Structure 1
Amino acid sequence: MARDVARTRDDLALRVREDGTLELRANGLFVMDTAETSTERALATAALAQAGPGPLTVLVGGLGLGFTAAAVLDDDRVERCVVAELEPRLVAWLRDGTVPHGPALLDDPRLEVVVGDVADLLSPGTGPSYDLVLLDVDNGPDNLVHNANAALYAVDGLRKVRQVLRPGGRLVVWSADRSSALAAAVTAVLGRCEEIELPVRLQGRDEAYWLYEGAVASQP
């Protein structure tokens, strides 16, 4: 049994279970909770493990409950982390403590939260600005929370990501399901794609989530 602790008019709901776990749902779909956060953190750590000595600038698409951004900021090489979050109330829930760890996270001076679509930060003319781009704006290309995000996972959308990555920069995309189409799109844009399986235990069930990683060639 769970009860809502916060809800928006467009059906973004933050719920608390009987054991105190917070659960985020959008349009009735499970998005994430505070019980299993390993894959949100792995989205950051998998990319950071391959990054250079720094300083690093990171773009995260999707704030969620803050665990990806927190893992980014745990790395001392990170000088700046920009997070794009479409839902202003989600940002507010972290800022006002409805999500208990939110205020401390958002108080980190290296963190900049932009309320808006991550696609707007990939507009032409932006130029190479980021060492890492991490995308977790849906449950992956086959489980969209917002249908308009489909373009982000296609070749044209990933080309926009490519243009903001510095030489040697990396893209990592989180997905709830294995996606051959996403792997093919990342390969088409970046030349190769590594598919990483992440086993998880969700409410008594063994499941798997997936990361799709590619990189821009370093300068000679």
Structure 2
Amino acid sequence: MSEIAYREIARAESPRGEVVLRERRTEGASTVVELRVNGVFVMDTVETTSERALATVALAQVTDPAHVLVGGLGLGFTLREVLDDQRVQKVTCVELEESLVGWMRDGTLAHGPAILADQRVELVTADVAQVLTEAGADTFDLVLLDVDNGPDYLVHDTNGSLYQTPLLALAARATRQVLVVWSAAESNALHQAMTEATGNCTAHSYDITLNERAETYWLYVSRTGR
């Protein structure tokens, strides 16, 4: 087995803990950038199926996704996939961690400046729960939430409310067409909460290989009926 070498690219502290970018190098393979939060692996640049699927599955449900909200910037792959859809006129991307926003802007994440150069992007540094609470009715055509790992594998306990009926109902109020929530595992509780908030919910599963492990991720899709 080839030896893996790591090199830290950037590190920041926030009220929620430590955010780290690091390179992962394997002999004979390309360099991979990975994101870790409080020591927990979040995502990397080699397996982006999950982030892209969040966008493609959601966009396929919507006839006119003029204004899209992406909750969670991550490494930018969901945002980039949304921007690839020429029907989209504006994307509001909300990210709580200032460090991630800065690394995307200044090129620490090499692909970041090109993504943010798209004039349709509005990048907001804020809590997506607050943005959804303050948004008016039908502000967005499509809302995509990928803020944590889902209700059963939270990186930050304070994100638990994002998967509960009251906040999901506020998200639904702000969404004219479709609300989609990503989860690292199947969650009957999330399915029920979205059904209570919107009156309907459909679960979509998809398989990926992550660090040589087979994983199944989930998207929960609700139509807001407007």
Q: Which range, TM-score by smaller chain?
A: over 0.9
- CA distance 1:114–1:124, shift in 2 (3 Å): closer
Q: Which amino acid aligns with 2:67?
A: T
Aligned length: 215
Structure 1: gaps spanning 5 or more residues: none
SS of the equivalent of 1:159 reads: helix
Match of 2:11 in 1: 7
SS of the equivalent of 2:54 reads: helix
- Which 4+ residue blocks in structure 1 deviate beyond 6 angstroms? none
Q: Which amino acid aligns with 1:144?
A: L
Q: Which amino acid aligns with 2:62?
A: A
State which drifts further: 123-132 or 5-14: 123-132
Q: Which amino acid aligns with 1:126?
A: G
The whole-number CA distance in structure 1 between the counterparts of 2:81 and 2:65 is 16
Identity among equivalent positions (%) equals 51
Tell me if structure 1 keeps the 8 A contact 2:59–2:65: no
Structure 2: gaps spanning 5 or more residues: none
Q: Which amino acid aligns with 2:215?
A: E
Match of 1:217 in 2: 225
**Which of 147, 156, 166 is residue 157 of structure 2 equivalent to?**
147
Q: Which amino acid aligns with 1:4?
A: E
**1:5 deviation in Å?**
0.6
**1:3 deviation in Å?**
2.2
The whole-number CA distance in structure 1 between the counterparts of 2:135 and 2:116 is 28
**1:55 deviation in Å?**
5.6
Question: RMSD of the TM alignment (CA)?
Answer: 1.2
The whole-number CA distance in structure 2 between the counterparts of 1:125 and 1:112 is 15
The whole-number CA distance in structure 2 between the counterparts of 1:3 and 1:177 is 30
Match of 1:49 in 2: 60
Q: Could you tell me the TM-score, scaled by structure 2's length?
A: 0.92
Say whether residues 1:192 and 2:203 are aligned partners: no
Tell me if structure 1 keeps the 8 A contact 2:68–2:91: yes
Match of 1:180 in 2: 188
**1:202 deviation in Å?**
1.0
**1:126 deviation in Å?**
2.0
**Which of 129, 137, 146 is residue 136 of structure 1 equivalent to?**
146
Match of 2:171 in 1: 161
- CA distance 1:124–1:90, shift in 2 (3 Å): closer
SS of the equivalent of 2:172 reads: helix
- CA distance 1:137–1:131, shift in 2 (3 Å): same
- CA distance 1:173–1:125, shift in 2 (3 Å): closer
Q: Could you tell me the TM-score, scaled by structure 1's length?
A: 0.94
